Structure 1
Amino acid sequence: MRTVSSGVVRGFLLGLTAALLVGGVIVAPSPAQGVAGFGDVDEDRYFAHAVQWMVDNGITTGTSAACFSPDDPVTRGQGATFLWRMEGEPDAPAHGFDDVVAPYQQRAVSWLAGMGSVVGATQTAFYPDRPLSRGEFAAMLHRVAARPAAQMHPFTDVTAPWQQQPVAWMVAESITTGTSATTFSPGDTITRGQLASFLYRYKGSPGVELDPSSPRCDPPSDGLTLRHVGEIRGAITPKSVVFSGVDLFFAQNMMYQHTITVYDRSLSLVGTISDRVVLSEFGVAGANPGTAYWGSPVEAAFTSDGRYAYVSNYQMFGPGYSRPGEDSCSPGAWDNSFLYRVDVESLTIDQVIGVGPVPKFVAVTPDDTKVLVTNWCGYNLSVIDVSTATESARVPIGRFPRGIAVTSDSATAYIAVMGSRDIAVVDLNNLGEPLSWIKGVGTSPRSLVLSADDRYLFATLNHGGGVVKIDLANRAVVGSAATGVGPRSMSISDDGTAIYLVNYHSNTFSKVRTADMVELQRIVTPDRPIGITYDPQTRRVWIATYGGTIQIYEDTLP
């Protein structure tokens, strides 16, 4: 580390972790010159010292572990968060804005509102996702500083009365010199680098030590291109393939193989798990003592540490199981089925948990306390208590419940109801409460994924030919992409900039940019692509095809 005087620095923007990613183009990294721990912050750029100061003071962590994205735009919600962090994260009474839903923005916007600094807002709307202009930021910062008086500024393009004093004050305090000698560009969106510099100068441009480390700053997923890198064949008929979150991939091969096949990142088979169980050994009431039963693995979900996998079985085979349910069914006297827990270290089934008829999708809540299972022919949701390995509740949902997405605080579950145009909203802390709904998203919603900040929900439409983006603040569809016939399973990149989904009847899969819902790629696959999963470390997409293959694609630079 070498000590460097403050110098002229300007701009930064936020650094909210991957959950706060802003769409846009990331500047190509310069590993030899990167500083402040970011590969895209060159030491000779004007904002280098400002970014280092922000890192040192906990104001930013970058848009990822290795990227700051200095040229990306700042939203109003992000700008509020930066100001709040700069001032030490003070508490304030709750705000009254209906459109501020991101957890990380709540206290920041409340504080800004309490300071009277919410420029550009109404009584009920803050517009957190709207780009923050340079003029708006000047006014916000001026109000945070208690609105000091100042003389005239030299900029001919600053004409709005409410911007006069803020911009004049910034000039007087050497916070800005404008975009030229006579312009400030108040209507331009402020960038992360510019914001960093303004905050740094506002605090007096303190001396910092530039950290010379410069890890590789990879571009965002929506700036990469998928290419085929591998294929797995064998005795498989995968209905789904699911990444453990650590280093393994589970393929569920239904009743056609009665197996779960397990692979590592080298595409090698590391184990095959039979779905054969002796139910009496797991204490299942009514099971014939010592008799073997078979399942039909369909979907899987893992605990947060990847230690255990929960696998649903479409139906059971053995004595007493003669009414297994089917794809077209109504609630009736169907056989209930079971959820298997698999010990990932030993690749053995160590728990068998009763659920409803024809269980489909499985989700483990982020806090690892519950497992949720949609029961296709039961029209309901099984809620499993992980601590007791028992079904604690069965929640009525509607015709053909399928995909599940759970918020990061484990409080809310969204359930796709394929026999409708709606998505059910379940309060996991109050299971006895009536459901609420997101209505009219499109025909046959099937697979669901959430953005990392829980702001947007994405849903494939099995009979709608694409995927929709839902703003959860107002529960309305705000974007869509037409992809192919029979969109089914879906996954999302770790940086949230791209979603990947399979189009079952088109024999294709699609990559869609989440910012504007533009389909970036559509790639032909072998027969009937049905399952998909994403490995963030390798940026690889694994696709299960019902015809008996797993296809592997990697997101790489064009």
Structure 2
Amino acid sequence: EGLVSLPRTLKVTYAGSQSGNDGGLPEDNPPGDGEDEPEPGRSRKSGDRKSGTDSSSGAAPDRGVDPEGVPPIFYDITGHWAREAIEELAARGWVRGVGGGCFAPDRPVTRAEMVALCLRLLGIPGAVPVEARFTDVPPGTWYYAPVEAAYRAGLVAGLGDTRFAPERPVTRQEMAALLLRTLEKAGVGTAITAGEREALLGGFVDGDAVASWARDAVAKAVELGLIQGRSGRTLAPGAPATRAEAAVIVLRLLHLPGLIR
């Protein structure tokens, strides 16, 4: 169950400094909606959104072919802005569908799913601890081992003393913080100066809405090209990230210079 599929390992060819970015995934702003998309007029590639097309209508999936005549891996991503990224990751074994030949690209990603994906990126196996850390991550659930392993690896800290909220949608700023912490654990430098951070966030109309604990991570994700923003130059930091957005951003991460992918 979940977004991720077969175990994969993110390998790097260089080491870098680690920053003190928050990775505890605390509570933040109320969720919104929308998609991570390129600026108007940009071409559709590696997950760029094609204006005016999505699969959020709730209609039955189109089981035919897309306008280019190529059968999709998943029936519900035909014409979707993130189709190419989803298909590439699925072909590599990084992500999987939800059953019935569907991917559910516009469904929110849960905190547990995102944590499991980051563990796959690092090649860290799930671990069954002697004593559970979180009261809302019970043994027997699919996410028990990955969440506990992520906590022990220092990727997450939970919400408060004993909660993790595994099935709550992960917000876009939480996703950025978790992915940047993953890069740090892989030895990739993620340091950013205060001036660089504010300049990058200032390029978005809602840059001030990014929580203080996530500002370094979100700004660095923008600098690295992992996050390009949603329509109208918005970051939507407190909005839930979708499965499509997670796929696109992970693919961009794998395409970063210096990563063996």
The answer to whether the Cα contact below 8 Å between 1:71 and 1:191 also exists between their aligned partners in 2 is yes
Aligned match for 1:109, one of 147, 158, 164: 147
Shift of 1:117: 2.5
User: What is the percent sequence identity of the aligned residues?
Assistant: 29
Q: Report Cα offsets for 1:462-501 as digits up to 9, x if no partner.
A: xxxxxxxxxxxxxxxxxxxxxxxxxxxxxxxxxxxxxxxx
Q: Report Cα offsets for 1:177-198 as digits up to 9, x if no partner.
A: 1114542001111111111111
Measured in 1, the distance between the counterparts of 2:181 and 2:59 equals 32
The answer to whether the Cα contact below 8 Å between 1:84 and 1:112 also exists between their aligned partners in 2 is yes
Over 3 Å counting, the alpha-carbon distance change for 1:188 and 1:39 in structure 2 is: same
Over 3 Å counting, the alpha-carbon distance change for 1:46 and 1:89 in structure 2 is: farther
Shift of 1:148: 0.9
Aligned match for 1:47, one of 74, 77, 82: 82
Q: Which amino acid aligns with 1:97?
A: F
Measured in 2, the distance between the counterparts of 1:92 and 1:48 equals 33
Normalised by the size of structure 1, how large is the TM-score? 0.31
The answer to whether the Cα contact below 8 Å between 2:173 and 2:210 also exists between their aligned partners in 1 is no
Measured in 2, the distance between the counterparts of 1:71 and 1:53 equals 17
The answer to whether the Cα contact below 8 Å between 1:76 and 1:129 also exists between their aligned partners in 2 is yes
Measured in 2, the distance between the counterparts of 1:8 and 1:26 equals 25
The answer to whether the Cα contact below 8 Å between 2:128 and 2:144 also exists between their aligned partners in 1 is no
Partner of 2:240: 189
Give the SS at the match of 2:105. Answer: coil
Partner of 2:251: 200
For the pair 1:149 / 2:191, whether they are aligned, the reply is: yes
The answer to whether the Cα contact below 8 Å between 1:10 and 1:200 also exists between their aligned partners in 2 is no
For the pair 1:96 / 2:133, whether they are aligned, the reply is: yes
Give the SS at the match of 2:143. Answer: helix
The answer to whether the Cα contact below 8 Å between 2:230 and 2:236 also exists between their aligned partners in 1 is yes
Over 3 Å counting, the alpha-carbon distance change for 1:25 and 1:182 in structure 2 is: closer
The answer to whether the Cα contact below 8 Å between 2:122 and 2:182 also exists between their aligned partners in 1 is no
Measured in 2, the distance between the counterparts of 1:25 and 1:171 equals 29
Measured in 2, the distance between the counterparts of 1:119 and 1:171 equals 24
Partner of 1:177: 228
Let me know the Cα RMSD of the aligned residues. Answer: 2.9
Structure 1 gaps of 5+ residues are 1-5, 12-23, 207-558
Equivalences for residues 347-496 of structure 1 within 5 A: none
Task: State the structure with bigger RCO (CA 8 A, min sep 6), 1 or 2.
Answer: 2
Measured in 2, the distance between the counterparts of 1:202 and 1:163 equals 18
Structure showing greater Rg: 1
Range that drifts further, 190-199 or 141-150: 141-150
Partner of 1:347: none
Could you list the structure 1 runs, at least 4 aligned residues long, displaced by more than 6 angstroms after superposition: none
Over 3 Å counting, the alpha-carbon distance change for 1:194 and 1:171 in structure 2 is: same
Partner of 2:26: none
Q: Which amino acid aligns with 1:107?
A: A
Structure 2 gaps of 5+ residues are 1-43, 50-55
Measured in 1, the distance between the counterparts of 2:158 and 2:205 equals 22
